[in-house]
Amino acid sequence: MSQLTARQLGFALGAEVTGIDLSKPLNDLKRREILDAWHKHLVLVFPGQDLSAEEQIAFSRNFGALEDNESLPYYRDPAHKEILLVTNKQIGGKPSETRNTGRNWHADLTYTTRPAKGSLLLCKEKPAVGGDTMWANLYLAYETLSAPLRDFLDRLEAIHDFSLVKGVEQRDPEKVAELKRRNPPVAHAVVKAHPETGRKSLFLGQRIRGFVGMTEEESAPILAFLNQHATSPEFVYRHRWSVKDLVMWDNRCTLHVALPDFDQTKTRHMTRTSLLGEVTGRVLEEGAAPQKEALLQTIASVS
């Protein structure tokens, strides 16, 4: 039996795992070894994994129940609801609406009350050059902030908004309207303790409208600083894909971004499964973020 090994790829996160065929069933020892490596490195790269959809689903289920992608029903594999197609291939004679998926820093499904626990992305086809993905370590992003700023952030909730998915306005308007209806703005704590490691991390990204109880004007500079800080080069691993790479990441303590650094006429075709996460958010009523004009009116009414 081959020996599973994890070779560190980046200072902040990322490791290449070899000595395992993911198309075969996992025993308890291998599953535990993978989980330990996942918690240590946050992003695991399994090269040379020529998996069918059924095999990708079966491997993913070793780590929890899977998303059925009901929040994004238009982009699923028609034969496997657990598989989200991230592709620039034409679908039904039209350009795929996931061809530009992931173009801003984000964690998966944070605009729902139950963000993904983790995701597993398999590269089926790729351009000769580019199409890279980057991940950022949100543990380090939190731990390197000053104590007063950490104390301030510990008390905040952020408003995650589907409409801030970059490029969503280029998709079918009727589908987008339905997706916004399915995915109203959701509040999540800005700082979360990982349910398995207990380690605190930031929970943010570029799909946040503002902070609960604060105006967008007040929120914007804080968000800009935090996102810039969290994605600093020292916290980031950049993956240069090879066909048959399967990458598994912990969505609860990382951000990622898909780069448009390739010839868009060349095929980039990926299949993604996501692990069903814990319920950590709450749906917000419309107008949860106060506007400056409303605050001024309130002041005027009591003056």
0.95 cut: is pTM over it?
Answer: no
The per-residue pLDDT for 91 is 86
pLDDT, tens digit (0-9, with 9 covering 90-100), for 235-252: 999 999 999 999 999 999
pLDDT digits (tens, 9 = 90+) for 154-203: 999 999 999 999 888 888 889 889 999 999 999 999 999 999 999 999 99
pLDDT surpassing 90 at residue 71: no
pLDDT tops 80 at residue 296: no
List domains and CATH numbers for the chain: 5-278 (3.60.130.10)
pLDDT at 301 over 60: no
**Model confidence over 249-292: pLDDT tens digits?**
999 999 999 999 999 999 999 999 999 999 999 999 765 656 66
Is the Cβ–Cβ distance between 97 and 172 less than 8 Å? yes
Residue 295 has pLDDT above 70, yes or no: no
Maximum pairwise Cα distance, the chain: 78
First to last CA, the chain: 78
pLDDT at position 291 is 63
